[in-house]
Structure formats: structure tokens, C-alpha cells
């Protein structure tokens, strides 16, 4: 499929687009809570792929390549929205002189602190379930077995915890981003 797209086949390109659209949409919309922005990012990604289609044959993992492009575009979009965060005022002149990696580290650190604040605001049981899932990498069924609860109840608690954390992040920052723990 990549070879055919690299050769200029619009049909192959459309198949790539159709095949990856749903996964990309889920990935991006989890990070960015805007349908329009998610659609714009997907369109930008596939436009770049089409414009550089000749380079597709040299890509070892198209999945990694595609999702890396999405992640980078999301980072670009968050940089553009820094005015909402008043980040330049908070960090002063140093942020403008910093490298991209330093800038991303600062955003990550601030985001992480706000996310931890949100986790600490969760009720004890919900916090325990959330941490078992994220920190201990336990599935809903494993948590249910350990806590003597139903899988459905655990999934509901996880959903409510994630919804609360995302809402807290949105309230404090004006945008959502990856949940790193």
C-alpha cells in the first residue's frame, strides 16, 4: 500500500486514509477536546504524507511515523495556544530563549503537577482504582478481582476519574493533553 501510494496511486492513498483515520481520530481527540482541531490535524497529516509520498518506501513503521506526526502536530497546536495559559508571562523571557525540548519539559512539568493535583482531589476509592490502573498497569478485571468488585463498577469508577481529571485540567489550563503518570 505504501509503495503504491509512493508511486502516486490515489486509490492506495485513500485506503491508507480510511484505514488509519479512526485510530488517529481517537488518539488526537483524547488529547485535544475539539472535533474541529482533531479534523484539522488529521487533514494536515495526510496532506503532508501525500506531498512527501515518495519518501514512504523508506519508512520502517508507518504506524509509528503516523502517530509521531500526530503527536508533533498536537505539540505545535499547544504551543500556539500558550497565550491561553499565559505561559510566557509565568516563565518570563527564558521560555522564548529555551529550546523546544526545554519548552516541552516545562509544559509537561506544569501539566503533570496539575494532573497530580486532580488525582489527589479524587475520593479515596476512586483514586486507588485510578492509580492501580495507571501506575500499576492493572486491567479493570484485575482491579475488580483484587478489590472484590465487579468489572463494570471498576470501569465506571475509572471513567469518572478520567472525566474528573480531564475536567480539572481543562479548568486549570484551558486545554487537555496526555495523561502522564
* pLDDT at position 66 over 50: yes
CA gap 129, 144 in Å, rounded: 9
Residue entry with cell 505561559: 87
Residue entry with cell 509509528: 64
Q: Choose the weakest-confidence range: 43-52, 73-82, 134-143.
A: 73-82
Maximum distance among all Cα pairs of the chain, rounded to whole angstroms:
57
CATH class of 99-173: mainly alpha
| Average pLDDT of the residues in 103-113 | 73
Would you tell me which CATH number, out of the four given (1.10.3720.10, 2.60.120.10, 1.10.10.10, 1.10.1740.10), belongs to the domain 2-80?
Answer: 1.10.1740.10
| Average pLDDT of the residues in 43-68 | 89
| Average pLDDT of the residues in 63-83 | 80
For residue range 92-106, list pLDDT tens digits in order.
544 445 456 666 666
**pTM assigned to the model:** 0.45
* pLDDT at position 15 over 60: yes
Residue entry with cell 504551543: 79
* pLDDT at position 45 over 70: yes
The band of 2, judged by pLDDT with boundaries at 50, 70 and 90, is confident
| Average pLDDT of the residues in 67-87 | 73
What is the residue-averaged pLDDT of the chain?
A: 82
Q: Fold match between 2-80 and 99-173? A: no
Q: Domain limits of the chain?
A: 2-80, 99-173
Per-residue exposure over 92-117, b if at least 16 CB sit within 10 Å of its own CB, e if not:
eeebeeeeeeebeebbeebbeebbee
pLDDT of amino acid 155: 92
pLDDT of amino acid 1: 86
DSSP-derived letter for residue 71 is: H
pLDDT of amino acid 90: 55
The band of 123, judged by pLDDT with boundaries at 50, 70 and 90, is very high
pLDDT of amino acid 137: 86
Amino acid at each position: 500500500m505504501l509503495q503504491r501510494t509512493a508511486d502516486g496511486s490515489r486509490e492506495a492513498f485513500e485506503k491508507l486514509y480510511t484505514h488509519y483515520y479512526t485510530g488517529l481520530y481517537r488518539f488526537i481527540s483524547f488529547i485535544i477536546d475539539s472535533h474541529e482541531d482533531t479534523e484539522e490535524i488529521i487533514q494536515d497529516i495526510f496532506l503532508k504524507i501525500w506531498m512527501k509520498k515518495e519518501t514512504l518506501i523508506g519508512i520502517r513503521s508507518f504506524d509509528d511515523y503516523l502517530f509521531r506526526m500526530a503527536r508533533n502536530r498536537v505539540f505545535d497546536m499547544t504551543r500556539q495556544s500558550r497565550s491561553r495559559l499565559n505561559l510566557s508571562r509565568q516563565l518570563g523571557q527564558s521560555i522564548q530563549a529555551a529550546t523546544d525540548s526545554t519548552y516541552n519539559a516545562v509544559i509537561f512539568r506544569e501539566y503533570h503537577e496539575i494532573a497530580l493535583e486532580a488525582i489527589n482531589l479524587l475520593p479515596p476509592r476512586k483514586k486507588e482504582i485510578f492509580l492501580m490502573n495507571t501506575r500499576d498497569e492493572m486491567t479493570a478485571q484485575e482491579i475488580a478481582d483484587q478489590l472484590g468488585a465487579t468489572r463494570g463498577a471498576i470501569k465506571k469508577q475509572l471513567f469518572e476519574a478520567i472525566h474528573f481529571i480531564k475536567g480539572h485540567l481543562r479548568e486549570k489550563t484551558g486545554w487537555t493533553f496526555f495523561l502522564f503518570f
